[in-house]
Amino acid sequence: MIDQMTASLARIRFVLVETTHTGNIGAVARAMKTMGLSRLELVAPRHLPDAEALARASGADDLLEHAGIHETLVDALAGCRLVIGASARLRTIEWPLLEPPECAQQLLDESATGDVALVFGRESSGLTNAELARCHALVHIPTNPDFSSLNVAAAAQVLAYEIRRTARAEQGERLTDQPRDLATAEEMEGFYGHLTETLFAIRFGDPEQSHKLMRRLRRLFNRARPDRVELNILRGILSAAQGGKTARCDAER
């Protein structure tokens, strides 16, 4: 059974208008697939996907194989209930302007019940005003104003990530570490006793003035919260240090 997030992502189209370099088509396909997106539409590309596109896709060959090829943007947007255009520059015309997180949220909200599209313009000139007129809103990635040039594939990756991040947040997904078999309080006490004995054996510190040192060492290892394997390694090191010191003392005698 397809979950809601997968179904919503499948309704989001990435539309590339008159792409010049086939490598960019492949790179966009890769950016999409890494984030669970699969619907790629091409509007009058200068060249159809070729060997360079496949190389840049790095395994996202299926997206290139099933990409729609359209003569006009109107055809590529057929059936979409929401269209957002990606703009590399802020336009003088008044258009609803979104930041990437807001764009992702709107696309996901609308894709719950129908198809939506995110439109990317030409590498050199972006989208024309006529093409913008077919968009409900624009999304702008706030780049460094002194160097705002962003490759279409890089822009696609940023927006694809925002879409997936938002979708995961809605489902309550979070990255979690594998559970650790942490050392227990009594095991840590055994380690601290072993550590104290070893420090005295190797003559590190004065037994009469070691309380402050041990408090600091306890703080250090309590912050680290070692697991049982790590604690066994530490105790093995202590045992080796004690044995080494004993061997040296015997040799001196």
- Whole-prediction pTM: 0.75
DSSP 82: E
For strand 137-139 and strand 97-98, is the pairing parallel, antiparallel, or unpaired? parallel
**Residue type for position 16:** L
Contact indicator for 119, 159 with CB cutoff of 8 Å: no
**Residue type for position 214:** M
Tokens at residue 165, please?
């991040």
What is the model's pLDDT at position 208? 66
Q: What does the pLDDT look like over 207-225, one tens digit per residue?
A: 667 788 889 999 999 999 9
Three-state DSSP at 1 gives coil
Three-state DSSP at 103 gives helix
Q: Which residues of the chain have pLDDT under 50?
A: 1, 246-253
Identify the residue whose tokens are 């960019």.
24
What is the model's pLDDT at position 93? 62
Pairwise CA distance, residues 84 & 136, whole Å: 6
Q: Which has the closest alpha carbon to 120: 104, 109, 131, 133?
A: 131
